[in-house]
Every structure is written in structure tokens, then in C-alpha cells.
Amino acid sequence: MALRNKNNRINKTNPQKEDFYQKVFKIVAEIPHGKVTTYGEIAQAIGLKSSARMVGWALNSTIGDDSLPCHRVINRTGELTGKRHFKTPTLMRELLENEGIEFIGEAVNLKKHLWKPSLD
């Protein structure tokens, strides 16, 4: 997957950043249907526990590319902080609810739906 900026132009990145992004994409692709994970869980699986924000940046590089289930990545409290990057403000929640994911108010029921990734 090529890394693209907001204007859909391919970004020229350094190899370390590209490697990090590819690890993020690999984990996101493995999130099971009906489960979610957090930016922090992905960062921890990669071995960079304090890099949750960088996971978000990696996912932002995929805007407009529906090949990854980015809707399954949420913040640590279960809120849909990435929803503004979808075509409509409600699409992220709709996609999750269509997979049977339950909400408590505005947050995903993490006790029931949290998936903890590992990087093999």
C-alpha cells in the first residue's frame, strides 16, 4: 500500500516511518470482524507503547482507501475519535454496529469487543 497525503499524492517517507506504517496496516488488516482495538494496543504490539498518535497518523494516510478496516480502531476509552475521517460523521459507528458491536452511550463496549493484537 502506497502512503498518500490528503491530495492523494504518494508521500516520500523514510524507511523507518514506512516500516512502522506497514506494521500498523498489517495489524489493522487482522482485526477480526465484530472486534475493535485501540491506537495504543496497536502501538504496544509494534513495540512502541507511547506511539498511539503515530498509529493515528498512519491510518490517516489511508483516507479514501477502503481496503483496511480502519473503522475498527478506536481510542482507549472506546470513543470513535477517528469518525471525522469517514465520509459521514455517523459512518464509523454504523459500520461497527453492522458488525454487531455494542455501544454504551457513545463508547464501544470494550469488555465485550476489545481485541489485543500481537505482531508475529
Distance between CA atoms of 42 and 106, rounded to whole angstroms? 22
CA distance 12 to 30: 26
Asked about 45 being catalytic, the answer comes back as: no
Contact between 12 and 49 under an 8 Å Cβ cutoff? The reply is: no
Please identify which of the residues 70, 92, 96, 108 carries the catalytic annotation: 70
Burial of 113 (0-12, 13-18, 19+ CB in 10 A): buried
Which residues are annotated as catalytic? 70
